[in-house]
Amino acid sequence: MSDGPQLYLMTPAGAQASALGPLLSEVMDRFPPACLRIRAGAEEDELGRLADLAREIAHARDVAVVIDDHVKLAQRHGLDGVHLTDGARSVRYARKELGDDAVVGAFCGGSRHEGMTAGEAGADYVSFGPVGDSALYRGEPAELDLFQWWSEVIEVPVVAEGAITRELLAQLNPVTDFIAIGPEIWGEDDPLTALTNLWGG
């Protein structure tokens, strides 16, 4: 993978659609992501508004949109699929509900076994993390050698997420397909500058 991983952008958890729109457009115009993931954490009505907004912005830029865990919301709002936060457990269910063309991703913490199980169950990608120190994730950080092993042995694309820094980015570049970025930038005063500093501009 000589050209390095692609950006996988996450919305702020619990975001309000009205506030996020212009900012999301600006960020995606500057740094086109391969995928946009809607983080859960808002009421269902607000998540629905966020889904419509994200779909409109992302699809205009040929970017796929997935949402955390909400299979029904993904169906209802014409999203491209789901990001499952419970590892391999719901992969078959999500695939059955959403069909063969949907994107089904699975977050597997730092577990090689969980990742392989998710891949065998039909996940389109597997996400491991956090790669840095983060209070937002349960469990131990995902080690660099997990990504190294995965990239050499497993065909299923891999996403690195959680407390990404420039230093970690440099280490992960050769061994990941996607780097998920969200909390790293949305907490800053100027998310676009934060992403430029992190991703390189």
Query: pTM value?
Result: 0.96
Q: Are 164 and 198 in contact (CB under 8 A)?
A: yes
pLDDT given for residue 98 in this prediction: 98
**Per-residue model confidence (pLDDT) at position 120:** 98
The torsion angle over the Cα atoms of residues 135, 165, 9 and 21, rounded to 10 degrees, is 80
Q: How far is CA 42 from CA 11, 47, 60, 74, 195, in A?
A: 11, 6, 24, 15, 24
**Residue 201 clears pLDDT 60, i.e. is over it:** no
The pLDDT tens digits of the residues spanning 92-151 come to 999 999 999 999 999 999 999 999 999 999 999 999 999 999 888 888 899 999 999 999
Residue 1: the pLDDT is: 36
| pLDDT score of 2 | 43
Domain boundaries, the chain: 6-199
Q: Computed over its alpha carbons, how large is the radius of gyration of the chain? A: 16
- What is the per-residue pLDDT across 143-189, written as a single tens digit (0 to 9) for each? 999 999 999 999 999 999 999 999 999 999 999 999 999 999 999 99
Whether residue 23 has pLDDT greater than 80: yes
Q: Which CATH superfamily is domain 6-199 in?
A: Aldolase class I (3.20.20.70)
Looking at residue 200, its pLDDT comes to: 81
| Contact (Cβ atoms closer than 8 angstroms) between residue 64 and residue 36 | yes
- Residue 105 exposed, middle or buried by CB count within 10 Å (0-12, 13-18, 19+): buried
Q: What is the mean pLDDT of residues 30-40?
A: 96
